[in-house]
């Protein structure tokens, strides 16, 4: 007696079989986050850009160098993305009071630089400025400029509705507290206390000289 042949699996049935559920983050995203954290950790450990190597980043991130180079063509690009990952995206509505917008943005910066690890990373970057001027310049243009432009837009809106005086350089004056906070972090003397209260004090000191007189 001939044994009946076992029918081949139906292609449609196989295609419609439910896929196994995926758990957690995609491997590429998890790997990228681990690489960025590893780069920041090395900067925080006191390694300047010159001593942070792709080998060291790969070892700490537990990944291969090829994985890094597929995403970042050079170390400078990787370090810039790592530094940018620290920045918090803050929306500053231009239709609200200038004071409120400045306080929100400044308080966020104060809070971040109250963290010792963040200050060490910042000092490592600026400490290597003479050796890596291009990296620091790109950091300022590609990472910091977004926040600066939001502050400028807020100030321009305040001038347009008569909230701020237009003489001098109001936008540059409004950015001064941000520079002061960064300088304090570089000197390892962070702004103490509640970030929002500290930001309000600094913003009020600047706005006192910018506020337009009553009509």
Task: Say what the pLDDT of residue 82 is.
Answer: 93
Residues ≥6 apart with Cβ < 8 Å to 213: 165
Q: Are 155 and 98 in contact (CB under 8 A)?
A: yes
Q: Are 178 and 109 in contact (CB under 8 A)?
A: yes
Residue 34 pLDDT > 80, yes or no? yes
200 Ramachandran zone, left/alpha/beta (phi>0; psi -120 to 50): alpha
CA–CA dist 87, 36 (Å, integer): 13
Residue 14 pLDDT > 80, yes or no? no
Here the tokens at position 212 are 């337009």
CA–CA dist 163, 21 (Å, integer): 55
At 159-214, the pLDDT tens digits run 999 999 888 899 999 999 999 999 999 999 999 999 999 999 999 999 986 666 66
At 79-117, the pLDDT tens digits run 999 999 988 888 888 999 999 999 999 999 999 999 999
* Percent of the chain clearing pLDDT 90 (strictly above): 59
Task: Say what the pLDDT of residue 53 is.
Answer: 92
**Domains of the chain with CATH codes:** 27-84 (1.10.10.60), 98-207 (1.10.357)
């Amino acid at each position: 007696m001939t044994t009946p042949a076992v029918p081949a699996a139906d292609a449609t049935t196989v295609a419609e079989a439910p896929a196994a559920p995926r758990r957690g983050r995609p491997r590429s995203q998890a790997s990228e986050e681990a690489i960025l954290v590893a780069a920041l950790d090395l900067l925080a450990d006191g390694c300047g850009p010159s001593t942070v190597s792709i080998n060291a980043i790969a070892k700490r991130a537990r990944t291969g160098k090829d994985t890094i180079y597929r995403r970042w063509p050079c170390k400078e690009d990787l370090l810039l993305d790592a530094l940018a990952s620290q920045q918090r995206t803050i929306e500053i509505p231009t239709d609200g009071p200038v004071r409120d917008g400045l306080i929100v943005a400044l308080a966020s910066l104060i809070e971040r630089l109250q963290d010792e690890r963040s200050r060490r990373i910042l000092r490592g970057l600026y400490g290597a400025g003479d050796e890596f001027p291009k990296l620091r310049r790109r950091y300022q243009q590609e990472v910091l400029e977004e926040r600066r432009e939001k502050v400028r837009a807020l100030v321009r809106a305040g001038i347009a509705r008569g909230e701020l005086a237009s003489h001098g350089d109001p936008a540059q004056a409004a950015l001064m507290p941000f520079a002061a906070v960064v300088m304090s972090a570089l000197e390892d003397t962070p702004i103490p206390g509640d970030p929002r209260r500290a930001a309000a004090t600094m913003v009020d000191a600047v706005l006192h000289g910018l506020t337009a007189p009553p009509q």
